[in-house]
Amino acid sequence: MDIEKILSQMTLEEKASLCSGRDFWHTKAIARLGIPSAMMCDGPHGLRKQVGEGDHLGINVSIETTCYPTASALANSFDREVLRTLGTALGKECQAEDVAMLLGPGLNMKRSPLCGRNFEYFSEDPYLAGQLGAAYIQNLQAEGVSACVKHFAANNQETRRMSGSSQMDERTLHEIYLPAFEAAVKQGKTRGMMCAYNGINDVFCSENKMLLTDVLREKWGYEGFVVTDWGAVKDRVKGVQAGLDLEMPGGTGTQDALIVEAVKNGTLSEAELDRVVRNMLQFVADYQDNRKPDTVIDRTANAALSGELAARCAVLLKNEDSILPLKDETVAFIGEFAAVPRFQGAGSSHVNVPHAVSALEAAAGKVRYAQGYDIHRQDNEAQLLSQAVELAKQVHTVVIFAGLPDSYESEGGDRETMEMPANQNALICAVAAVNPNVVVVLHGGSAMELPWLDRVKAVLYMALGGEQVGKAAVELLYGNVNPSGKLSETWPLRYCDNPSYLNFPGEEGKPIYAEGIYIGYRYYDKKQMDVLFPFGFGLSYTELAYSDLKLSQTELDDTETMTVSCKVRNVGTVPGAEAVQLYVRDEVSTVHRPIRELKGFAKVYLQPGEEQEISFTLDKRSFAYYEVKLHDWFVESGRFFVDIGASSRDIRLSGCVSVNGTAELPIHVDRLTTIGELTSFPKGKAFVEQMIAARKAHSQAATADNEKNMGEGSDKIVKSMMTEMPLCSLVTYGVMTFSQLDDLIAMLNE
């Protein structure tokens, strides 16, 4: 497709027509110019292609296809290869169904465990989410299908998501809520970006020039196109000016007419419109060039793949007395989820699955069963509870399948509580009272409160594991697969411990992100708070040992990279895998920083006795924080610790490196600048040192007088007071005149 030639032949009305969709899923075609229509589909974890043309509400029946584990499960793998494998599988399915773009992955942060759409998001950590998202995108697009990363940006709740605004400071936005999208652009090379419904600091994302142009295109170098979330447009002309390309879904043409009118009256330049058209034509050209119409899908193989991925994402949270894997004793499965598995969330990502395999089906007659509770009711049903308790008395081990029902987690609404349904909690407590060997298998897309944790021996978290989650659970329970997942989000003891607790979902649609950069483990670790399970936590049926930490250098400039390596050995008796995590912490910082931050991870699969060496590469961003004075990333010179661990609170190895920051912060000194602030740059520090030297010349007499008048430790008090003094105090105390002070300030600002 010759884009410039086609553009030169288009009428103004034709150009404007490409700014919105034909219908719910398709772009517009222009037959006379040979521009075809292209289809987009929902489904980060499975293809949700509607039958026929698709309706304007997106509620018609979609094709039957494979449902893979959701992002909430996939992130627990801590394994880029898992995401690459999924990306390849979904890319082939899209080719077989003539789908040009898959709407996903979702890269929003899990700010609160109550966000109803957390099951579609990876993590509370931007580095983990960005790395996994980039791996998914790379392999999806390698199949010739465009990814469309969503929801850009700060879409962290469902309450008032279409009209609200996320209120936060610049550092928080750039340090927490943008980096995953940046990785999708720079590493994943995503060809699509979906802007969110919400605003950021009272500017809607669909018309936010800072977001769509200044950051996305100019700072990150993005070359793809930007599509709205479905129905997110507030002002179409402002959107074009800000960097928005495609409005979805298609409408009556009213918005297109507004664009034409704006060009004619000079409100919008035709050059701005041409930029949008070029982006849309490039998307269609990519679709044409990468079509593979002969692609054939093996649904049976895909179903098996879904189960394999689910098993690699499961997290063993507790295993007292090594009760798992299950032995040859009598076993009962209890809980409706054992027979009717909870495997995906509700909303636009809901996949039409012909059959979801339950754990009861996968166990193939090896276990006895009782329903235990009704997923459609929250109160206890005495008969179901009684039957479950009686069965529990008759077997050696009970496996209870529990978690969050569909109604708790859905697009369009947030959870009301972090608690599980009361009837499930009551069931677990009642069964544990009559049987000491209780295992709980949990289903759900985010953290839950577990008031019965100390009454059961094991907990296996499956998250929302796709259509084969029942089979995967049985494979894990019986030891055919060794669990190796790690939690991609912290589980607090109770919801009120969460840093967003007082500001979620906010008032009048404007949640204030008062916790700033301290979300998830960054907050809990800084506060030294007890948690139920820390970020990165997960057990195994084998034992893994860490050793031989090596840093390629102990000093470097922030323009250089360094490598860190360590060895991991399987010292247990069964094959297993370990997600090795690398964290960086600043020894001393003049700005608030978390205790440690994830900056690397790698998954290794080891046979008993096998050892592997793992290497990580660290660069400037590994040590930097976002400095608002520079509107960029900045490394403060000093010592940093490199921590290798099995979780954020299980550090096995630690080393130290001195990093020299090569950038300088802009300095502006005025009469209110404190003497302590002067020490942050060379000329100011030299002046302060001169003052201290002058004071020391009189120190012996001054110290005696100070101690008499101010008490013991007076020297320290004087230094502290001096540090906090503004420069104008030098005039007040007779050190210099205002004229001399102004000369000093001018010299320091040169």
Give the active site residues.
229
Q: Which tokens in the block code for residue 714? A: 């007076």
**What does the alpha-carbon distance between residue 586 and residue 597 come to, in Å, rounded to a whole number?**
10
Helices (H), 314-400: 336-339, 359-363, 382-394
User: In this structure, are residues 601 and 579 in contact, taking their beta carbons and an 8 Å threshold?
Assistant: yes
3-state secondary structure 137-201: HHHHHHCCCEEEEEEECCCCCCCCCCCCEEECCHHHHHHHHCHHHHHHHHCCCCCEEEECCCEEC
Look-up of token digits 């008062």: 514
- Kindly compute the dihedral angle of the four CA atoms of residues 585, 82, 471, 425, in this order, to the nearest 10 degrees: 30
Based on the number of CB atoms within 10 Å of its own CB, is 200 exposed (0-12), middle (13-18) or buried (19 or more)?
buried
DSSP β-bridge partners for residue 387: none
**What does the alpha-carbon distance between residue 136 and residue 597 come to, in Å, rounded to a whole number?**
23
Please give the biggest Cα pair distance in the chain.
95
Sign of CA dihedral 429, 430, 436, 440: negative
Q: Concatenated DSSP letters for 422-443?
A: HHHHHHHHHHHHH-S-EEEEEE
What own/partner pairs with CB < 8 Å and gap ≥ 24 does 672-678 have? Answer: 672/726, 672/727, 672/728, 673/726, 673/727, 673/745, 674/723, 674/724, 674/725, 674/726, 674/727, 675/722, 675/723, 675/724, 675/725, 675/726, 675/727, 676/723, 676/724, 678/748
Q: Concatenated DSSP letters for 260-305?
A: HHHHHTTSS-HHHHHHHHHHHHHHHHHHHHT--TT----HHHHHHH
**What does the alpha-carbon distance between residue 476 and residue 539 come to, in Å, rounded to a whole number?**
12
Fill in the DSSP letter of residue 118: G
Q: Which tokens in the block code for residue 706? A: 């100070």
3-state secondary structure 621-680: HHHCEEECCCCEEECCCEEEEEEEEEECCEEEEEEEEEEECCCCCCCCCCCCCEHHHHCC
**What does the alpha-carbon distance between residue 343 and residue 574 come to, in Å, rounded to a whole number?**
28
CB atoms within 10 A of CB 440: 28
DSSP β-bridge partners for residue 20: 247
Q: Concatenated DSSP letters for 60-85?
A: SPBPB---PPPHHHHGGG--HHHHHH
Q: Which tokens in the block code for residue 722? A: 């001096």
Look-up of token digits 């058209």: 277
Look-up of token digits 């055919």: 480
Q: Which tokens in the block code for residue 555? A: 């000093």
Output b/e per residue, 729-741; b: 16+ Cβ within 10 A. Answer: bbbeeeeeeeeeb
Pick the closest to residue 611 from 701, 516, 545 (CA basis): 545
User: In this structure, are residues 330 and 368 in contact, taking their beta carbons and an 8 Å threshold?
Assistant: yes
Q: Which tokens in the block code for residue 437? A: 């060997």
Starting at the edge strand that comes first in sequence, how are the strands of the sheet with 203-204 ordered? Answer: 165-166, 199-200, 203-204
User: In this structure, are residues 154 and 166 in contact, taking their beta carbons and an 8 Å threshold?
Assistant: yes
**What does the alpha-carbon distance between residue 123 and residue 130 come to, in Å, rounded to a whole number?**
9
- Contacts of 10 by beta carbon, 8 Å cutoff, 6+ apart: 30, 33, 277
Fill in the DSSP letter of residue 33: G
